[in-house]
Each structure stands twice: as C-alpha cells, then as structure tokens.
C-alpha cells in the first residue's frame, strides 16, 4: 500500500544538480524561506557531475569580457541563441567560479594567485568532489529540506499556474504531493533517446548521465510550457568507447585531430567550431579516412601521468583503459568518435523558453540549467549563474505568492495514474524492449549515429508514427517494483521528448548546425529565412510550432502573458 505524503514549502526545486543546489543555497543565504529539493537519486552524486567535471569551461578569462563571451557563443552557435540570456550568465560567471572555490573546489592558480587558464574561457580545476561539496553546503542549511530518492512525475497545475509537483519515493511506498509558491525545474537534459555508441553491455557508458531522462522537459511539455530549439541537438566528440572528454587532452596539452593517414583534417571543412570538429570527424570516417585520433603520441611521460590523474578525477574509465592496455597517450594516439545525440540546454540551446528571470511560460514555474533553453555553452558555471538569477527573482516576487492546493479527488486521480502500472496485466513487451524500439527508430529515422546524424522529412514521418505507437504501448507496461515504475516513467518522458524533437527537426527547413541538425532535404544554411527560434507548445496531443524573432543582448525579454 502506498500512502500519500503532503508537503508545503515556499520554494520547490526539482533536481539537486549544480543549478538546483546553487539556487537553493542562494535563496537560503538571503532569506528564511523554506526550500525543498527533490532528487531521484542522492544529491551527493546525482546528475551529470556524478564522476566529477574536467574544467570550468564558461569563464571570462584575461582579455575577455561578457560581451566577447556572448560573441563567441553566438558565433559558435551560428547566431541562433538568446543573447540576452547568455549575457546575463556571462556577467556572473567569474563570481560563481569564486564561490565554487570558496566551497572547496580546487582551482589552479599561478604564482600571483590568479587562475590558470586552459583556454580563453576555461580554468583548470579538480572537479572530482564538486557534487559532494555542493551537497554538503546544501545539507548544512536549516531552511533547505532535501528529499533524496523521490522521483517527480508531473507538475500540479491549477488555473494555468504550477502549484507544486507530484512524485513517488524509491525507498518507501509513498506518493509525494508537494505544494509550493514557486517551483523551479532543474532536472537536467535528456540522454537515451537514440541508440547509444555501445549498445551491448556498456549501453550506459555515454557522455551525458543516462539517468537524465528528460523528465523536466516532458513535464513542461505535458503542462503546455513553451519549448525552444530542441532541433539543436548536442553531440559530443569523445574518446572512443569510454566516451571520456577530449577537451582535457586537446586543450590541456594542445593536440590536433588527425586521420588514419596522419593528416590534420578539421581545416578542410571550415572554421573549427565545436560542431565542425565533430562533423569533420564523421566525414573523414565516411570517406574511409578513419579512424580519427587526437595526436598525443610523443607527449612526455609526465604529461601522460598528469592526464591519467585528470581522467581519474572525472572519467575514470579512460584512466583504467590506458593502464589496463599497459600503454597510454604518450605511445598511442587517442581514438575519437561522435556520441549519440542528446537534448541538453547547457551545451546546445534546447529547453524551456524562459524570460530574463528564467521564468517559463507557465506561471510560478522557473527553469534553470540544462533544462532551460536559448543559452548554449553555459556548462557548470552557467548553470550556477542561472540558479542565482532564478533565486533573485524568486526572492523579489514570492511575497505575492501563496499556496494553492488541489482537492482530494484530483490528488487521488494523480496517485492512481502513477500506481496503475503495478496492476497492469503481464504485457507482451518489457520496458527494456520498448526502450530499444525507441532508440532504434530515432537512430534510423531521426538522424542517429548510424545515419551520420542526417535525417529528412520522409524519415521523420516514420519516426513520428512509431513514437506515437510506443506512447500507446507504454501505458500497458507492468511494474513489479518501484525501480521498474521509475523505468516506465523514464521511458514515457523520453518518448515525449522524442515527439517534440521530431517536430522541431522537421520545422527548421535548413541545416544550421552540421550533425546537430543535419536536414537532408535542406542541406544548406539559410540565413534569410531561418535566423529565428523554432519554438513549440503541446496542446491536445499535438505539438504546435511557433517561430519567434531573435532577442538581442540588451533586451529584457518578458513573456507576453506576464
């Protein structure tokens, strides 16, 4: 039997990653408001920084300014970004980096006490402990209540406003209904939509956290929130098989990308933007010039030893691989490959359409971090900045807020919606089979790895039809445990993300970002028609596309309805 546990709080933050924890800390330090953080795992190691992080890659280095940071992000993203959002992040980057250092994250300094830069916008750190340090700071606060192992399933909505959220515990038989004056979505992006690089035993050896399943996007979609730029997928260029970061090597010791013949190939394809380095690698492999590598052979033993340490601090698989093969980057070049596509607003621009304060289009709902759209390349420090921006807005506006509750019937219906999966008849298909079916159709018909990331309208139509079928089939799945119940909701959320993604891919009739959004019907970039945001709203089972004009960096964007 499940009991229903009701909680009231001033602020509910869904997801205890970097953005969520920092938002909570900011509110807690500046007010006595009560904050509840829910996390489906434990905030000590939940989310995409569980293993650590290799650097702070959003930072205003020497000679750079917030303006030049925006220019860089705009250029790297082919102009379609929310400059206003990126600018407000840029203004806070160095402040939040210092705050991280105060919390205990080591940042490399020179003799004068200045941060050592890895690149113009990057500083060197030891990010292994970043989550435990943030968690410790959060758990230290009396007015933050952390509910670990609680998986939120949907927002509670009354009269068009979010009044809280509902979910279930993974540790005891409890449904949680949590009411809040303000709710912040900080659940991260979506992995596991496409067939992964390692589809067999190591299927979860991926770049992004496989436990970030697009829950925040899906909840927002179902509640009718406007979403933006899902079609700008993110595909990482990674060390082959271990899917470990390449930046540590390429930026850290300044290596180039070479093909099997030893040729430096990126320049053949154009400016070496983030996606171009990936596109060039995909093309070299298609032309038969693979495998492609980071040219590390010949680096010193000392460099190799430092690289091994750096990888232990964020992606230990790569360190294990080198030591196990009794070799290393000094002797062998490091093979690289592109990952499966992810939807993630911290690297690309997919996510909630937010205003300058990170308010979504639904009243009383904020979105920050990887789940918030429009501002690519925000990374860890950008997520902290957004946590702070939302916190400041909440502090200013919460006086007007009040708790609104749903009535007993409505809650009991929500509870039944969650629990009915326990009482379903044994179905024909397992949860794992449905996941495999989704990943296969997305791979083959919505531009996955096996199609060199290219799709066209005819293929997307097949993908769209199959995703609809799977959305019906999941309703019949059966849960034998709360973990299986979690897996069912994860697959439902991913299917919703796929549904919206397919519409966005179809809507942008050009190819703006090679690999990320490679439309076979429209293989060229078309600035005359497509310097626009592709946005969408889900209504009555359909995804409606809206095109919106670009927002400049000096504008303060407000939602029309607010």
> Where along the sequence are the contacts to other proteins (CB under 8 A)?
40-42, 44-47, 50-51, 54-55, 106-108, 116, 118, 124-129, 148-149, 170, 198, 200-206, 209-211, 241-242, 248-249, 251-253, 306-310, 312-313, 316-317, 319-321, 323-326, 483, 486
Provide the minimum distance between the beta carbon of 412 and other proteins in the complex, in angstroms, as a whole number: 27
Which residue number, 77 or 487, has a Cβ lying nearer to other proteins?
Answer: 487
**Closest to other proteins by CB, 174 or 405:** 174
- Sorted by sequence, the CB contacts under 8 Å of residue 240 that are 6+ apart come out as 291, 334, 335, 336, 337
Which among 93, 87, 102 has a CA at the least distance from the CA of 123? 93
313 vs 381, beta carbon nearer other proteins: 313
Under a CB-based contact definition with an 8 Å cutoff, are residues 482 and 175 in contact? no
DSSP secondary-structure letter at 369? G
We find the least distance from the C-beta atom of residue 313 to other proteins, in angstroms, to be: 6
State in angstroms the smallest separation of the CB of 160 from other proteins. Answer: 34
Type and span of the H or E element at 413: helix 408-423
Are residues 476 and 424 in contact, defined by beta-carbon separation less than 8 angstroms?
yes
Q: Which is nearer to other proteins, 109 or 268 (CB)?
A: 109
Minimum CB–partner distance for residue 96 and other proteins (Å): 17
Closest CA to 423 of 364, 474, 467, 478: 478
Name which of 253 and 476 has its Cβ closer to other proteins: 253
Question: Which of 321/553 has CB closer to other proteins?
Answer: 321
Query: Helix or strand or coil: residue 5?
Result: strand
* Shortest reach from residue 34's CB to other proteins, in Å: 24
Nearer to other proteins, 205 or 297 (CB): 205
Least gap, CB of 486 to other proteins (angstroms): 7
* Least distance in angstroms from the C-beta of 457 to other proteins: 34
Specify the residue, 28 or 251, whose C-beta has the smaller distance to other proteins.
251
Which residue, 41 or 260, has its beta carbon nearer to other proteins?
A: 41
Verify cis geometry, omega within 30 degrees of 0, for the bond prior to 74: no
3-state secondary structure of 64: coil
Minimal distance, residue 15 CB to other proteins, in Å = 12
Q: Between 78 and 128, name the residue whose CB sits nearer to other proteins.
A: 128
* Minimal distance, residue 117 CB to other proteins, in Å: 12
Beta strands in 291-381 (DSSP E): 292-294, 334-338, 351-352, 365-367
Q: Which residues contact 228 (CB under 8 A, 6 or more apart)?
A: 82, 349, 350, 351, 352, 353, 373, 374, 533, 534, 535, 536, 548
Helix (H, G, I), strand (E, B) or coil at 238: strand
**Least CB distance to other proteins at residue 329 (A):** 11
Give the Cα separation of 534 and 525 in Å (integer): 15
Q: How far from the centroid of its chain's Cα atoms is residue 511's Cα?
A: 22
Report whether 547 contacts 306 (CB < 8 A): no
The residues near 336 (Cβ < 8 Å, ≥ 6 apart) are: 237, 238, 239, 240, 246, 257, 281, 292, 293, 294
């Amino acid at each position: 039997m499940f009991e229903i546990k009701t909680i009231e709080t001033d602020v509910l933050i869904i997801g205890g990653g970097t953005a969520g924890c920092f938002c909570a800390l900011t509110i807690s330090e500046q007010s006595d408001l009560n904050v509840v953080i829910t996390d489906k795992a434990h905030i000590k190691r939940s989310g995409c920084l569980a293993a650590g992080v290799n650097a702070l890659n959003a930072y205003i280095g020497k000679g750079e300014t917030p303006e030049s940071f925006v220019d860089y992000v705009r250029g790297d993203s082919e102009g379609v970004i929310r400059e206003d959002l990126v600018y407000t992040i840029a203004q806070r980057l160095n402040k939040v980096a210092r705050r991280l250092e105060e919390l205990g994250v080591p940042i490399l300094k020179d003799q004068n006490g200045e941060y050592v830069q890895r690149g113009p916008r990057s500083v060197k750190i030891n990010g292994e402990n970043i989550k435990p340090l943030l968690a410790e700071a959060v758990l230290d606060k009396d007015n933050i209540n952390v509910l670990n192992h609680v998986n939120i399933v949907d927002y509670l909505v009354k009269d068009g406003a979010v009044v809280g959220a509902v979910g279930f515990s993974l540790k005891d038989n409890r449904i949680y209904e949590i009411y809040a004056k303000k709710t912040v979505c900080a659940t991260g992006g979506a992995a596991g939509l496409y067939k992964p690089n390692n589809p067999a035993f190591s299927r979860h050896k991926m770049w992004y956290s496989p436990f970030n399943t697009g829950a925040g996007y899906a909840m927002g979609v179902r509640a009718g929130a406007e979403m933006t730029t899902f079609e700008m997928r993110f595909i990482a260029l990674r060390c082959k098989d271990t899917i470990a970061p390449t930046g540590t090597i390429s930026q850290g010791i300044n290596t180039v990308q070479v093909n099997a013949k030893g040729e430096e190939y990126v320049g053949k394809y154009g400016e070496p933007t983030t996606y171009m380095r990936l596109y060039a690698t995909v093309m070299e492999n298609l032309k038969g010039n693979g495998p492609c590598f980071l040219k590390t052979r010949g680096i010193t033993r000392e460099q190799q030893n430092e690289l091994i340490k750096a990888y232990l601090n964020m992606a230990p698989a790569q360190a294990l691989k080198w030591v196990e093969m009794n070799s290393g980057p000094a002797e062998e070049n490091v093979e690289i490959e592109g990952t499966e596509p992810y939807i993630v607003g911290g690297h690309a621009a997919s996510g909630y359409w937010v205003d300058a304060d990170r308010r979504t289009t639904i009243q009383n709902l904020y979105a920050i971090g990887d789940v918030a759209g429009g501002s690519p390349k925000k990374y860890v420090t950008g997520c902290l900045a957004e946590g702070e921006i939302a916190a400041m807005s909440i502090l200013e506006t919460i006086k007007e807020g009040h708790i609104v509750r749903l009535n007993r019937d409505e809650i009991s219906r929500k509870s039944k919606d969650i629990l009915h999966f326990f009482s379903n008849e044994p179905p024909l298909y397992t949860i794992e089979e449905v996941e495999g079916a989704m990943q296969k159709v997305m791979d083959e018909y919505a531009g996955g790895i096996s199609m060199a990331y290219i799709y066209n309208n005819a293929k997307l139509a097949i993908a769209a039809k199959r995703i609809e079928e799977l959305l019906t089939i999941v309703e019949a799945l059966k849960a034998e445990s709360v973990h299986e119940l979690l897996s069912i909701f994860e697959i439902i959320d991913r299917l919703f993300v796929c549904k919206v993604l397919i519409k966005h891919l179809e809507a942008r009739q050009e190819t703006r970002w090679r690999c990320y959004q490679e439309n076979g019907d429209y293989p060229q970039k078309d600035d005359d028609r497509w310097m626009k945001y592709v946005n969408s709203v889900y209504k009555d089972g359909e995804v409606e596309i809206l095109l919106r004009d670009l927002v400049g960096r000096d504008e303060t964007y407000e939602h029309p309805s607010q």
